[in-house]
Amino acid sequence: MKIEILTIFPDIFSSFLSESLLAKALAKGLLTVDLINIRDFTHDRHRTVDDRPYGGGPGMVIKPEPLSEAIDSRLALGGPKPFIINLTPSGRLLEQVLVGQLAQKERLMLICGRYEGVDQRVLDLYSDMDLSIGDYVLNGGEVPAMVLIEAMARLIPGFLSDSSSVQDDSHSYGLLEHPLYTRPRVFRSLSVPPVLLSGHHAQVAAYRLGEAMAKTRAVRPDLLEKKDVMERTIMFFSQSSSPLKGKDNK
Ligand code: 6GU
């Protein structure tokens, strides 16, 4: 998968892309990330990327010319047609199913708005989707772009050493994940639930399903209303390949 990020703050991405699993994935060529500085496509002495909104109101708007030139410069390189995403709090909400769909795209172009947003005409001309990462407001699309990239990267075969942990994640089958424990067996007088030490895979699976249900009901009851959640959960917990059934956890 090939990702191009259009931003006026490319440096925000440097440690994100140079540390940890993502750096390894880039080195292995599992994905590529190109940073494009929108300011490089200005032609005035002050390298202006924003201007006041027509009709009045607070804040500034990203100007259409530098952004469209930046996009055109990438399109001129050829290659597959990119799926172009505008990151904005007024976009479609990102959730795990959508992450999976976007991770299938061969080439993504991410527009990181700043200030109040981007001139609508560039979006009308180029953008395939407005995308938000949640119902709160951030200063720009850079952090949301990193959220999207990390969520997608986890789904690329070879990104995680143990890909079964992806299927086990919170949200992967529609419920929140059950709690996890590791050694020691007793920590500050708190014991690991005995069923996890029992070696009975079916009992462990039943316990974890119960915990996942209880956690979801308490914290995110809205998830239980979603279509197919229980079907997907039952499928997950009954699969013979399920890590819940397959692993010895002594
Ligand atoms: Cl994609 N952008 C901004 N600026 N704020 C957000 C967001 C995006 N998603 C949630 N809040």
What domains sit in the chain, N to C, each tagged with a CATH number?
A: 2-153 (3.40.1280.10), 163-240 (1.10.1270.20)
**Intra-chain end-to-end CA distance of the chain, in Å:** 39
Cα of 47 vs centre of ligand 1, distance in Å, is: 25
- Check if 76 has its Cβ closer than 6 Å to any atom of ligand 1: no
Query: With b meaning 16 or more CB within 10 Å and e meaning fewer, what string describes 78-88?
Result: eeeebbbbbbb
Q: Phi and psi (nearest 5°) for 146?
A: -65, -40
Please choose, from the candidates 5, 8, 158, the residue with its C-alpha nearest in 3D space to the C-alpha of residue 17. Answer: 5
- Check if 138 has its Cβ closer than 6 Å to any atom of ligand 1: yes
Which pLDDT band, with edges at 50, 70 and 90, does 21 fall under? very high
pLDDT(249) > 80? no
Taking only the tens place, the pLDDT of each residue in 43-59 is: 999 999 999 999 999 99
pLDDT(231) > 90? no
- Give the mean pLDDT of 93-97: 96
Q: CB atoms < 10 A from the CB of 238, how many?
A: 11
pLDDT(139) > 70? yes
Cα of 68 vs centre of ligand 1, distance in Å, is: 21
- Check if 86 has its Cβ closer than 6 Å to any atom of ligand 1: no
Question: What is the atom index within ligand 1 of the atom nearest the CA of 136?
Answer: 11
Q: Phi and psi (nearest 5°) for 13?
A: -90, -10
pLDDT(248) > 50? no
Q: What is the predicted pLDDT for the residue at 240?
A: 39
Q: What is the predicted pLDDT for the residue at 242?
A: 52
Pocket probe for ligand 1: among 138, 139, 143, 146, the residue whose CB has the most ligand atoms within 8 Å is 138
Q: What is the predicted pLDDT for the residue at 220?
A: 96
Question: What is the atom index within ligand 1 of the atom nearest the CA of 114?
Answer: 4
CA separation for the pair 153, 151 (Å, rounded): 6
Q: What is the predicted pLDDT for the residue at 170?
A: 82
pLDDT(36) > 70? yes
Q: What is the predicted pLDDT for the residue at 116?
A: 87
CA-based torsion, 53, 114, 144, 74: positive or negative: positive
Tokens of 204: 């462990």
- Give the mean pLDDT of 7-22: 96
What's the whole-number average pLDDT of the chain?
92
Which of 89, 168, 220, 232 does the annotation list as catalytic? 89
Which pLDDT band, with edges at 50, 70 and 90, does 230 fall under? confident
CA-based torsion, 172, 176, 181, 182: positive or negative: positive
Q: Which pTM value belongs to this model?
A: 0.91
Q: What is the predicted pLDDT for the residue at 172?
A: 76
CA-based torsion, 86, 91, 94, 98: positive or negative: negative
- Give the mean pLDDT of 104-113: 98
Taking only the tens place, the pLDDT of each residue in 64-91 is: 999 999 999 999 999 999 999 999 999 9
Q: Phi and psi (nearest 5°) for 88?
A: -155, 145
Which pLDDT band, with edges at 50, 70 and 90, does 62 fall under? very high
Q: What is the predicted pLDDT for the residue at 95?
A: 96
pLDDT(103) > 50? yes
- Give the residue carrying structure tokens 């199913």: 97
Taking only the tens place, the pLDDT of each residue in 150-199 is: 999 999 999 998 877 787 788 878 899 999 999 999 999 999 999 999 99
- Check if 132 has its Cβ closer than 6 Å to any atom of ligand 1: yes
Cα of 134 vs centre of ligand 1, distance in Å, is: 7
89 is catalytic: yes
